[in-house]
Amino acid sequence: MVGKGARNAEIEKLHSEGASYAALARQFELSPSRVQQIIANTRRMRKRLQAGFDAPPRHTT
């Protein structure tokens, strides 16, 4: 069984390649609104992680 994180990343990838919410909902047996939420959350998390990597390093002593 694939974890939800991998599933959510796959959903976001397929959507960015042009798959519709409805098509993804059928494929993953979810509602279209849930697919939309997953995509938004995945993109939000990716943006936060990227911002953390782009931030200057902190000094710790």
Residue 61 in this model has a pLDDT that exceeds 80: no
For residue 21, give its domain range. Answer: 4-53
| 60 in any annotated domain | no
Total domains present in the chain: 1
Residue 1 in this model has a pLDDT that exceeds 90: no
In this structure, the number of other CB atoms found within 10 A of the CB of residue 14 comes to 17
| 58 in any annotated domain | no
- The per-residue pLDDT of the chain, averaged, comes to 91
| 41 in any annotated domain | yes
pTM: 0.77
| 29 in any annotated domain | yes
Region 14-25 average pLDDT: 97
| 40 in any annotated domain | yes
Q: Please give the Cα distance from 1 to 21 (Å, whole number).
A: 23
Q: Please give the Cα distance from 59 to 61 (Å, whole number).
A: 7
| 21 in any annotated domain | yes
